[in-house]
Chain A
């Protein structure tokens, strides 16, 4: 606990010092990033210790507010979520120092202040044991991340993204406020310790609470139809902030859902698991489809966050089904898969956003159709990006594979049981996960193929060069962690997640994961063998070629007299077969006409894929609310006299009414 508190104190010191030094932006960056890194190291130590400890470290401080108390607890679940937070926060701070580097501006000081405060807010969310503290930290997180998103606020689209994000955050807060007030009322306390077993399963209130939680936490985590802010805010924010937001911040929603499960009085009703699986499937499939149709690299990554939240939900959903039907094996595997994916997603999505940021930093471009050939110009960034892309596609031997494998395993266990309530959901999970994995692989084949391989499509892309060590270092660390977690999964999964699953489900630790881990170990062993075989083949190839002449020629040298880089596949054309196959869902709009005739004239063609769920569900809702709220604008006359009149009428009414 001392470690954790000193980490928070250090972060707060950095937050206070950075804006003071704003006149010397380089120093402000150094102090802000330095304190973030040191705080993250201390916090990481606290998280690791918290994971190992049997009983969580408890701290309760009095405060002057009329309600609640400062009560934090570092139990295993909290420590597990703190792990990706402090890991990614520290690495992103190093990256951010280099990212702001050459073009230091006065506002960097404020940005570092908000960055440190954001880490503190998330750390408090993961550890808070009091609903007042939790909600305050939640709001602090929303406000600080909003301030970080609008760092480049002179651009219209950044400001727009900021507003969208702020509104989404507060919808989430409003729903959570209702949820926690209801919870607090039925518990009779604001302290989480009093919440254990307070949700009477089977009562109408419990169902209302659950739906509120899925909506409220879902608006932050970016579940389907509530994800509208993700593709707006992530491209607008500086890249290390997008990495932290996508890697960790949206996981606060997952944490909230899992924490809520510990307040149940008994096994949850069947439909809770079904709902989680349905939302997970929708988010996963539509998220990856929308990602496939994007041209903007960071927007694409944002949609992949929606997809990965869906995958995590699938794991949680299977876990819920296991709780309902009393099958510890399903629960353990499902929850372990979901929670492990939280950690894994933080690593590879953080890595990918940092990579996209490096590309943006050196070329100034986010549109994939203008990039190309970057692998030869940015060797290390490219390598790290490929690792991240493989990991997010769930390809072995990287970490994404391990967590998705556990969810598969959980679903197959469910399927094999023949339990009629769970067979169909399990089938849906298996099919959905396979579809998501395949589409994600296609999507990242597109990204890697278009951005990293081929020839540069514009002069800016041609002039790209490797970014500084401040930027490359964190990416390589994350890439290495992806590999370590992927290969080490059989040994790490048990200690990391089994205790968590038992904490949520309430059975003693050391129970049922062993079977799953055994098969994971077999698969990983095979993979290592395959890797070794590949390495041997590469060595053999090298040995065979050593004595021969190897010549290199242009990639696009198909007998054209004047090949240009524009003859290459673009991201749109690469994805076109899949996009047109899913046209009924995606509704991509095509403008312009294809070249026509023997001697075609100039022609242009644009494709634009709207965010259908947002356009169909969220947009009409907002229009309705706006229409209802519009008459209220009459009250705002802009005349002092009217405002005084309102006050006078109010006072008179109170005076007359109360007398």
Chain B
């Protein structure tokens, strides 16, 4: 019972982090929020696991690695890119903050609607809706923000959602798979950080709106 309420607390934290991501206007806030979300998520497998396996190496290694990578390594990479690329600190939204927050609430509703119809094994009844909402938030951030770094943040939020979904579906996901996913995300963020740096050095900005001039056809 204790564990269950802790899970609920975590899920509430995830939703709040989503809303903060959608409502924040500064890049460094978003990077920190998505890092905190990642760290919070890394606790989820611990809470889901039964008391016995808590002590096993298997159960401990993954959360630790996740927390380290998402809580320390990614923010460091992103802040480095932010600093070296002299990126503007604003997220520069296409969709304003109030509509974004409304979308966040709506995504929770859509997640709940979908989760009710998904044939999934039990667990916390809130876990799947929140996971879906986090994925939708990540997608929305990729679509509705202009700064290239925000695309990375959106990608991380999307991955957080997938992680949460995985934690709800598979009680004990194979270690190798989870580590593989973590490695994938790490490489992706690493490359995106480098790319953002190069884009900014080449064009003196990382505004994706103006990058559309690079497409092969123009009216």
Residues of A within 8 A of B (CB): 633, 636-642, 644-645, 648, 652, 655-656, 659
Q: Is the CB of A644 within 8 A of B217?
A: no
CB distance from B61 to the nearest CB of A (A): 32
Q: Chain B contacts of A652 at CB under 8 A? A: 110
Task: Report the bound CA distance from A645 to B214 in whole Å.
Answer: 19
Task: Report the bound CA distance from A486 to B142 in whole Å.
Answer: 72
Q: Is the CB of A639 within 8 A of B114?
A: no
Task: Report the bound CA distance from A498 to B117 in whole Å.
Answer: 70
Q: Is the CB of B114 within 8 A of A659?
A: yes
Q: Is the CB of B139 within 8 A of A644?
A: yes
Task: Report the bound CA distance from A551 to B136 in whole Å.
Answer: 96
| Contact A640/B117 with A648-B139, A648-B143 known, Cβ cut-off 8 Å | no
9 contacts across the A-B interface (CB closer than 8 A): A638-B218, A640-B208, A641-B208, A644-B142, A648-B139, A648-B143, A652-B110, A656-B114, A659-B114
Q: Does B213 contact A (CB under 8 A)?
A: yes
Q: Does B55 contact A (CB under 8 A)?
A: no
Q: Is the CB of B208 within 8 A of A659?
A: no
Q: Chain A contacts of B208 at CB under 8 A? A: 639-641
| Contact A641/B139 with A636-B217, A655-B114 known, Cβ cut-off 8 Å | no
**Cβ 8 A contact of A638, one of B118, B145, B215:** B215
Task: Report the bound CA distance from A181 to B98 in whole Å.
Answer: 54
Q: Is the CB of B142 within 8 A of A641?
A: yes
Q: Is the CB of B217 within 8 A of A637?
A: no
Task: Report the bound CA distance from A642 to B209 in whole Å.
Answer: 11
Task: Report the bound CA distance from A219 to B142 in whole Å.
Answer: 46
Instruction: Please give me the residue from chain A that is nearest to B110 by CB atom.
Output: A652
Q: Is the CB of B142 within 8 A of A659?
A: no
Task: Report the bound CA distance from A577 to B213 in whole Å.
Answer: 55
Instruction: Please give me the residue from chain B that is nearest to A651 by CB atom.
Output: B139
| Contact A639/B118 with A633-B217, A644-B142 known, Cβ cut-off 8 Å | no
Q: Is the CB of A637 within 8 A of B212?
A: yes
Q: Does B168 contact A (CB under 8 A)?
A: no
Q: Chain A contacts of B217 at CB under 8 A? A: 633, 636
- Nearest first, the 4 A-B pairs at minimum CB distance are A638-B215, A638-B212, A659-B117, A648-B139
Residues of B within 8 A of A (CB): 94, 110, 114, 117-118, 139-140, 142-146, 151, 208-209, 211-215, 217-219
CB distance from B33 to the nearest CB of A (A): 20
Q: Is the CB of A640 within 8 A of B214?
A: no
Q: Is the CB of B144 within 8 A of A641?
A: yes
Instruction: Please give me the residue from chain A that is nearest to B119 by CB atom.
Output: A659
CB distance from A646 to the nearest CB of B (A): 10
* A interface: dominant SS: helix
Q: Is the CB of B114 within 8 A of A645?
A: no
CB distance from B125 to the nearest CB of A (A): 17
CB distance from A445 to the nearest CB of B (A): 49
Task: Report the bound CA distance from A331 to B192 in whole Å.
Answer: 69
Task: Report the bound CA distance from A636 to B216 in whole Å.
Answer: 10
Task: Report the bound CA distance from A393 to B66 in whole Å.
Answer: 80
| Contact A638/B117 with A645-B143, A648-B143 known, Cβ cut-off 8 Å | no
Instruction: Please give me the residue from chain A that is nearest to B132 by CB atom.
Output: A655
Task: Report the bound CA distance from A122 to B219 in whole Å.
Answer: 40
Q: Chain B contacts of A636 at CB under 8 A? A: 215, 217
Q: Chain A contacts of B145 at CB under 8 A? A: 641
Q: Chain B contacts of A640 at CB under 8 A? A: 142, 151, 208, 211
Q: Is the CB of B114 within 8 A of A644?
A: no
Q: Is the CB of B215 within 8 A of A641?
A: no
Task: Report the bound CA distance from A640 to B215 in whole Å.
Answer: 11
Q: Chain A contacts of B146 at CB under 8 A? A: 641
Q: Is the CB of B212 within 8 A of A639?
A: yes
| Contact A641/B114 with A636-B215, A636-B217, A648-B143 known, Cβ cut-off 8 Å | no
Q: Is the CB of B143 within 8 A of A659?
A: no
Task: Report the bound CA distance from A641 to B95 in whole Å.
Answer: 12
Q: Chain A contacts of B117 at CB under 8 A? A: 659
CB distance from A630 to the nearest CB of B (A): 10
Q: Is the CB of B209 within 8 A of A639?
A: yes
Q: Chain B contacts of A648 at CB under 8 A? A: 139-140, 143
Q: Chain A contacts of B211 at CB under 8 A? A: 638-640
Instruction: Please give me the residue from chain A that is nearest to B214 by CB atom.
Output: A638
Instruction: Please give me the residue from chain B that is nearest to A637 by CB atom.
Output: B212
CB distance from A648 to the nearest CB of B (A): 5
Task: Report the bound CA distance from A640 to B142 in whole Å.
Answer: 8
Task: Report the bound CA distance from A648 to B132 in whole Å.
Answer: 13
Q: Is the CB of A641 within 8 A of B214?
A: no
Q: Chain B contacts of A641 at CB under 8 A? A: 94, 142-146, 208
Task: Report the bound CA distance from A645 to B217 in whole Å.
Answer: 20
Q: Chain B contacts of A645 at CB under 8 A? A: 143
CB distance from A532 to the nearest CB of B (A): 67
Q: Chain A contacts of B142 at CB under 8 A? A: 640-641, 644
Q: Chain B contacts of A655 at CB under 8 A? A: 114
Instruction: Please give me the residue from chain B that is nearest to A641 by CB atom.
Output: B143
CB distance from A637 to the nearest CB of B (A): 6
Instruction: Please give me the residue from chain A that is nearest to B118 by CB atom.
Output: A659
Task: Report the bound CA distance from A648 to B213 in whole Å.
Answer: 23
CB distance from B149 to the nearest CB of A (A): 13
CB distance from A643 to the nearest CB of B (A): 9
Task: Report the bound CA distance from A648 to B143 in whole Å.
Answer: 9
Task: Report the bound CA distance from A640 to B139 in whole Å.
Answer: 12
Task: Report the bound CA distance from A652 to B136 in whole Å.
Answer: 9
Interface centre among A637, A642, A659 (most CB of B within 10 A): A659
Q: Chain B contacts of A638 at CB under 8 A? A: 211-215, 218
Task: Report the bound CA distance from A36 to B47 in whole Å.
Answer: 69
Task: Report the bound CA distance from A641 to B114 in whole Å.
Answer: 24
Q: Chain B contacts of A642 at CB under 8 A? A: 143
CB distance from B203 to the nearest CB of A (A): 14
Task: Report the bound CA distance from A641 to B218 in whole Å.
Answer: 17
Q: Beyond the given A638-B215, A640-B211, A659-B117, could you list 9 further A-B residue pairs with CB under 8 A, ordered by the A residue number?
A: A638-B212, A639-B209, A639-B211, A640-B142, A641-B94, A641-B142, A641-B145, A648-B140, A652-B110
Task: Report the bound CA distance from A616 to B144 in whole Å.
Answer: 48
CB distance from B188 to the nearest CB of A (A): 14
Instruction: Please give me the residue from chain A that is nearest to B219 by CB atom.
Output: A633
Q: Chain A contacts of B114 at CB under 8 A? A: 655-656, 659
Task: Report the bound CA distance from A93 to B114 in whole Å.
Answer: 64
Q: Chain A contacts of B219 at CB under 8 A? A: 633
Task: Report the bound CA distance from A644 to B136 in whole Å.
Answer: 12
Task: Report the bound CA distance from A655 to B219 in whole Å.
Answer: 35
Task: Report the bound CA distance from A648 to B155 in whole Å.
Answer: 13
Interface centre among A633, A637, A641, A648 (most CB of B within 10 A): A641
Task: Report the bound CA distance from A655 to B132 in whole Å.
Answer: 11
Q: Chain B contacts of A644 at CB under 8 A? A: 139, 142-143
Interface centre among B110, B139, B140, B215 (most CB of A within 10 A): B139
Q: Chain A contacts of B118 at CB under 8 A? A: 659
Q: Chain A contacts of B140 at CB under 8 A? A: 648
Task: Report the bound CA distance from A636 to B145 in whole Å.
Answer: 18
